[in-house]
Amino acid sequence: MANISVFGLGYVGCVGIGCFAKLGHNLIGYDIDSHKVERVSKGLATIVEREIDDLMAEGHAAGRITATNSVEQAVMQSDISFLCVGTPNAPDGQLDLSYILSASENIGKVLRAKSTFHIVVIRSTVPPGTNELISKIIESHSRKKAGVHFTVVSNPEFLREGVAVADFLNPPLTVLGSQDVKALKKMRELYEPLICEIVEVTPKVAEIIKFVNNSYHALKVTFANEVGAICKKLDIDSHQVMSLFCKDDQLNVSCYYFTPGFAYGGSCLPKDLKGLNYIANSKQVKVPVLSSISTSNQTHIYRALERVQHIGARSVGIIGLTFKAGTDDFRNSAAILLAEAILGKGNSLRIYDRFLNIARDKETNLQDINQNIPHLVPLLEASVEDVVSKVSLVIITVRNPELPDLIRNHPNVHFLDLVRLKDPTVEELPNYEGFCW
């Protein structure tokens, strides 16, 4: 059983109080709104939400729920303080952190007189770096040291209004952003009854994941609506289409394609995206999301070129030219577009592609190679070593088992990895860098 204070008695705070009380913990709520404090102190919810009224009443009847308008009382009567205050958008889009920073200052002032270790948990949505900022604020006002007398843990919530209680008690996972072993142990004990995966990450990862999640959810809604608008014009049942789409859990609803790296290419994705956009345009259906995907993909290729130019190498090598590993298909290959752009900037270029070499040796796809990329064929080398030994920058677009040793053995060659080799022994080397990580 833990003694928990909750700062902010809105949707996140009220649900947290009710659910933690159900799990057997003692809760004390705090808010600058005296009306909310009064309601919680009587075991009443501050929000309209399924199941929350019963949880608040049960927790209060069991003596597990109280509330106060005193920061000192809330902190002194708890070992863990959850920050659940609002962080609304400012006019320019950034989050207004004034409430959470003010709460942190007040907690810090109280901690000055507290002798026991205290955990401050950021439950509110905050930008990366806020954990560190709050740690410094509490240090300043408490005159105590983070990691010794207190710790700030980032623990983003993933609650949907309307089913927030169910989401709290049955989460897909629990994210804990901290490197403090003592605090992580206590937080794990807090969440273990929920029987879900508990993932320990750095604070910045925990802080950004909520933005990523909700932006993707917004994208899903918009994507589905654009598909619906197209289907409506074609007299097609869009719900049947999207139901069919969701049945594919190998590609459509899965981790596949969700690894940051280089741009997409090939014959299928560009062709079908263009085709769907054409159908939309022919029916006068505006689809801003679908129409911007190709532009974003081109921007990513240019982003890689900008990095190459910033590195400043004049002799460049590319490992992998086809649109992905395991094929000699180079149609719409992002690597070819990058190679041509590098040449256009006046750099020398050497290329190794295992599958293009096989295609040339076997004379399969030979006509397409000679017809479509004759300017790149003379730049193909017979081995990875041949490329690395002749250039000062190597761009990796496919995983190759020889590359880790080559990176270690050629410290004067810079390696720019667009796909991530997933070899921790090279990721700390000064001549290696990842493109999107």
What CA–CA distance (Å, rounded) separates 387 from 57? Answer: 71
Residues in contact with 93: Cβ distance below 8 Å, sequence separation at least 6, in sequence order: none
What CA–CA distance (Å, rounded) separates 96 from 281? Answer: 40
Q: Tell me the pLDDT tens digit for each residue of 342-383.
A: 999 999 999 999 989 888 888 777 788 888 899 999 999 999
Contact 27, 4 (CB under 8 A): yes
Mean pLDDT value across the chain: 95
What CA–CA distance (Å, rounded) separates 318 from 336? Answer: 10
Angle (nearest 5°) at CA 236 between 233 and 239: 115
What CA–CA distance (Å, rounded) separates 151 from 139? Answer: 10
Task: Please name which of 265, 275, 154 lies closest in space to residue 204, comparing C-alpha atoms.
Answer: 154
CA distances from residue 246 to 220, 243, 251 in whole angstroms, order as listed: 12, 5, 10
Side by side, which strands form the sheet with 80-83? 65-68, 26-30, 3-7, 80-83, 118-122, 150-154, 173-177, 197-201
Q: Tell me the pLDDT tens digit for each residue of 128-152.
A: 999 999 999 999 999 999 999 999 9
CA distances from residue 383 to 95, 302, 363 in whole angstroms, order as listed: 51, 27, 18
Tokens of 246: 């969701």
CA distances from residue 75 to 8, 140, 206, 281, 311 in whole angstroms, order as listed: 13, 17, 24, 59, 51
Residue with tokens 């930008």, as numbered in its chain: 127
Q: Is 326 left (phi over 0), alpha (psi -120 to 50) or beta?
A: left
Q: How confident is the model at residue 125 (pLDDT cuts 50, 70, 90)?
A: very high
CA 306 to chain centre: 24
**pLDDT given at position 12:** 96
Q: How confident is the model at residue 267 (pLDDT cuts 50, 70, 90)?
A: confident
Q: How confident is the model at residue 324 (pLDDT cuts 50, 70, 90)?
A: confident
Task: Please name which of 43, 5, 9, 52 lies closest in space to residue 25, comparing C-alpha atoms.
Answer: 5
Rg (CA), the chain: 28
Domains of the chain: 3-201 (3.40.50.720), 297-434 (3.40.50.720)
What CA–CA distance (Å, rounded) separates 297 from 337? Answer: 12
What CA–CA distance (Å, rounded) separates 210 from 127? Answer: 9
Q: How confident is the model at residue 184 (pLDDT cuts 50, 70, 90)?
A: very high
CA 328 to chain centre: 32
First to last CA, the chain: 40
pTM above 0.85, yes or no: yes
**pLDDT given at position 60:** 98
What's the per-residue H, E or C state across 377-437? Answer: HHHECCCHHHHHCCCCEEEECCCCCCHHHHHHHCCCCEEEECCCCCCHHHHCCCCEEECCC
The single-letter code of the amino acid at 39 is R
Asked whether the predicted pLDDT for residue 408 surpasses 80, the reply is yes
268 in catalytic set: yes
**pLDDT given at position 365:** 73
Catalytic residue selected from 14, 246, 255, 268: 268
Q: Which residues pair with 68 in a beta bridge?
A: 30
| Rounded mean pLDDT, 401-424 | 95
Half-sphere exposure of 12 (CA within 13 A, CB side): 20
What CA–CA distance (Å, rounded) separates 353 from 376? Answer: 11
What CA–CA distance (Å, rounded) separates 315 from 97? Answer: 47
**pLDDT given at position 362:** 82
Contact 39, 56 (CB under 8 A): no
For the chain, the 3-state helix, strand and coil shares in percent, each to the nearest 5, are: 50, 15, 40
**pLDDT given at position 203:** 98
Q: Which of 48-62, 293-307, 318-332, 394-408 has the lowest mean pLDDT?
A: 318-332
Asked whether the predicted pLDDT for residue 288 surpasses 90, the reply is yes
| Rounded mean pLDDT, 211-218 | 94
CB neighbours (10 Å) of residue 245? 13
**pLDDT given at position 370:** 83
